[in-house]
Structure 1
Amino acid sequence: MKTRCGSARMGLALLLTITTGCAGVRPHLELPTLDIRQPAFAATLGAYTGTTVVGGNRVEILLNGEEIFPAKLAAIRSARRTINYAQYVFEDGQPASDVAAALAERCRAGIKVNVLLDAVGALAMPGALREEMSSAGCRVEDYRPLRPFALDRLNYRNHRRILVVDGLVGVTGGSGISGKWSGNGRQEGHWRDTDVLLEGPVVEQLQGAFAENWLEATGVAIGGPEYFPRRRLVPKGMVDAQVVRSSPAGGSTAMYTMFLLALASARHSIHITNPYFVPDEKMITTLVAAAKRGVEVVLLIPGAIDHNLVRQASRSEFGRLLKNGVQVYEYRPALLHAKTMVVDGIWATVGSTNLDHRSFSLNEELNVAIYDVDTAQRLERVFAEDLSNSSRVMYEDWDNRGIASRFLELLAFPLKEQM
């Protein structure tokens, strides 16, 4: 499904290609030999990402609009002190109306509500929804507003999705606020997505990510027990987790390192779900190396996508992956937008990060890394269900693709660093 807003964002990316130049991640020429089951893996990941693994968390996987929006609305309505909400896509539709109304109601009840919207991602947000929140007393701000004399910064967007209520409950993942995120993810015109609800000490790290972006956007440093109630962050479950955030504009490419370390550490399986798969050479060779050492590598991507050039750029690399044993599937019922990865059935990550240059080198991104067999197995079951609604891409079919597809791949090549 191609949306007008999606077209506008792609058009802006083309403009930025011409006007701003391209950032890049630091080269990762060699990767350590790690075992994802051993404590050294978590310790290494923490060293590169700047956050530690914390225990005592409850983690709940939320699938599609039918689970994501009720959970978000319940959390918002439960607020007693503060709500921090950062969103990339905020468009029209019933979910947008419901979220705006719930935030406005809490503001009228005297709750402090901070809303941070990416200036590009929220281009299509109806003005009435912004006014509803602002007039109720919510503070609604734009992240890196569109200004003609700041084009060098316009290319760096806040792609994070963060909801934190009272510093105690958090929701993050890949979903946006729009009618297309409604439903069960298996109907044409709707999007298939995955979020995660968090309770416990790891919420403090999620709040810290919001605070970082809020400080840049407003100059206001939030703090104190209403935002960071450390004494109240008692254990809520048995899950170990950490929030990994990257801010390429500030020099951090932690997300790229996290993915490479996890891929290189796999011993049995790598199951990736991602909508925008435009990997660089190092990530391709790491996936191929995993397949060659006997790891089952399965990639699930959309059969249809909102940016056709991105799809063609992604498919251009299929040949090498398929010839080396990587399995590729395309999801058919709806547009796949979930961003998850499970390694060896015991470690998983859910978040906002696409496997492309834009996420690793340009955008502010956020993922939760989860060290828990039960959660990983839950995501494995979701992955298997999604595969049952997908078509496998075979090398022979890819190699016999038509001239039009090959032409679009060539057309997409110069734009890969904006995808």
Structure 2
Amino acid sequence: MGGNAITLLQNGEEIFPAMLDAIRAGEKTITYAQYFYEDGPVARELAETLAERCRSGVAVSVLLDAFGTLSMPAEYIETLRRSGCQLALFRPLTRTIFRNANNRNHRRILVVDGRVGFTGGSGVSRKWMGNGRTENHWRDTDVRVEGPAVEYLQGAFAENWLEATGIVLGGEGYFPRPLPPKGQVYAQVVRSSPEGGSFGMYTTFLLAMASAQRSILITNPYFVLDDTMADTLTSAVRRGVKVVVLVPGAIDHNLVRQASRARFGRMLRAGVEIHEYAAALLHAKMMVVDGVWSTVGSTNLDNRSFALNDELNLVIYSAALGRRLEQVFADDLRYSRKVDYRGWRARGITDRFLEFLARPLRSLM
């Protein structure tokens, strides 16, 4: 759909000020879904800012994934509830829902007054603060959206809120009609919920890769492809498409990294370029195809995102934003190390052993 204005937000130094400004401007409703939340300066400020809006009469709904936010201080939850915010946990870790406890809500969504939306890959922690070039901090990308696409961000939140609370969100405060055009960008919100039978993200990525004619640029922290997706990338190289992948040099889950690196050989032999980000912990989830099709969101390129978690990405059809994301990719490569086949083959016995341990866990990653 056309008529959208989309702003790229790089790292905590841009993401959190933009979100906080939008929340402070909220007048009717604020909906906020977060997978990861732990203590830190920005975590406290965000909780207090949401609480202030509640006390001012704004209807604030906060949805926290019960597993990803285990480290969130109880003090913040109490602050939100005491201020009148509606707060719910998505799939609490209890025996009664154990059958789907492994299916998490990995979506990141903020919508203010049904008119301004945010999504991406960022969590809330001191590790997300800064410029993405600092050791032990996250390098991430989010987007700010205005225009008709915001309704679909809100719809994704309402879907998860209904499951968690049994409450249907509706009305002008959440879904103002009509949403006037705010820009010239065509965009689409793609969401998947494997527990509900939807695998939209997997199909979206696969079709985009298969359609590429010139280039595929991938930034992703969890790059554990299945055979079909790996074949699609190597087929793209054979038809002359330049495929460049940026993955973390270090990450929070080392077994996932080893599961990813175990299959580098096949990709490198086929001509896929692979680089490992060295300046910080890479968490951005982006892909640009032919400089005109791009996506930013919560989806990792692994089975957990495609077959277990609820995920959401914004797909953008814009040459201008495609060029901007290509430049972001090029800037990140300056802080990365290229992986070559000879170096990969020479990896040590410890790495090979961890790859072996990770093999039976690939379906859970």
The answer to whether structure 1 residue 150 and structure 2 residue 97 are counterparts is yes
CA distance in 1, matches of 2:282, 2:116: 26
**Structure 1 equivalent of residue 341 of structure 2:** 395
CA distance in 2, matches of 1:227, 1:151: 32
Q: Secondary structure at the match of 2:2?
A: strand
Q: Which runs of structure 2 are paired with 1:17-416 in the superposition (5 Å)?
A: 54-231=1-178, 233-416=179-362
**TM-score of the two chains, using structure 2 as the length reference:** 1.00
Consecutive unaligned residues of structure 2, counting only runs of 5 or more, are none
CA distance in 1, matches of 2:322, 2:250: 27
Per-residue deviation, 1:152: 1.2
Measured against aligned partners, the alpha-carbon deviations of 1:331-356 in whole angstroms (never above 9, x if no partner) come to 00100000000000011000000000
Per-residue deviation, 1:418: 0.8
CA distance in 2, matches of 1:380, 1:114: 35
Consecutive unaligned residues of structure 1, counting only runs of 5 or more, are 1-53
Instruction: State the AA in 1 paired with 2:3.
Output: G
Q: Secondary structure at the match of 1:330?
A: strand
Measured against aligned partners, the alpha-carbon deviations of 1:243-292 in whole angstroms (never above 9, x if no partner) come to 00000000000100000000000000000000000010000000000011
Per-residue deviation, 1:385: 0.1
Per-residue deviation, 1:116: 0.1
Per-residue deviation, 1:150: 2.4
Instruction: State the AA in 2 paired with 1:394.
Output: D
Per-residue deviation, 1:95: 1.2
CA distance in 2, matches of 1:354, 1:378: 21
CA distance in 1, matches of 2:138, 2:25: 27
CA distance in 2, matches of 1:274, 1:319: 18
CA distance in 2, matches of 1:169, 1:248: 27
Instruction: State the AA in 2 paired with 1:318.
Output: F
Per-residue deviation, 1:387: 0.3
**Structure 2 equivalent of residue 39 of structure 1:** none
CA distance in 2, matches of 1:324, 1:230: 50
CA distance in 1, matches of 2:222, 2:37: 19
Measured against aligned partners, the alpha-carbon deviations of 1:274-316 in whole angstroms (never above 9, x if no partner) come to 0000010000000000011110000000000000000000000
Instruction: State the AA in 2 paired with 1:87.
Output: Q
CA distance in 1, matches of 2:95, 2:354: 31
CA distance in 1, matches of 2:131, 2:69: 23
CA distance in 2, matches of 1:168, 1:95: 24
Q: Secondary structure at the match of 1:150?
A: helix
**Structure 2 equivalent of residue 45 of structure 1:** none
Instruction: State the AA in 1 paired with 2:188.
Output: Q
Task: Give aligned pairs, total.
Answer: 365
CA distance in 1, matches of 2:97, 2:17: 38
Q: Secondary structure at the match of 1:196?
A: strand
Per-residue deviation, 1:80: 0.4
Measured against aligned partners, the alpha-carbon deviations of 1:355-378 in whole angstroms (never above 9, x if no partner) come to 000000000000000000111111
CA distance in 2, matches of 1:102, 1:302: 33
Per-residue deviation, 1:149: 3.5
More divergent stretch after superposition (105-114 vs 90-99):
90-99
CA distance in 2, matches of 1:102, 1:252: 34
CA distance in 2, matches of 1:286, 1:371: 21
CA distance in 2, matches of 1:289, 1:151: 40
Instruction: State the AA in 1 paired with 2:223.
Output: F
Instruction: State the AA in 2 paired with 1:78.
Output: A
Instruction: State the AA in 1 paired with 2:63.
Output: L
Tell whether the 8 Å contact from 2:36 to 2:123 is kept in structure 1 after alignment.
yes
Q: Report percent identity of matched pairs.
A: 63
Measured against aligned partners, the alpha-carbon deviations of 1:217-263 in whole angstroms (never above 9, x if no partner) come to 000000011000012x1000000001000000000001000000000
CA distance in 1, matches of 2:129, 2:211: 36
CA distance in 1, matches of 2:12, 2:97: 35
Per-residue deviation, 1:86: 0.2
CA distance in 1, matches of 2:206, 2:260: 18
CA distance in 1, matches of 2:80, 2:288: 38
Per-residue deviation, 1:189: 1.6
Per-residue deviation, 1:178: 0.6
Cα root mean square deviation, aligned: 0.5
Instruction: State the AA in 1 paired with 2:269.
Output: K
Per-residue deviation, 1:148: 2.0
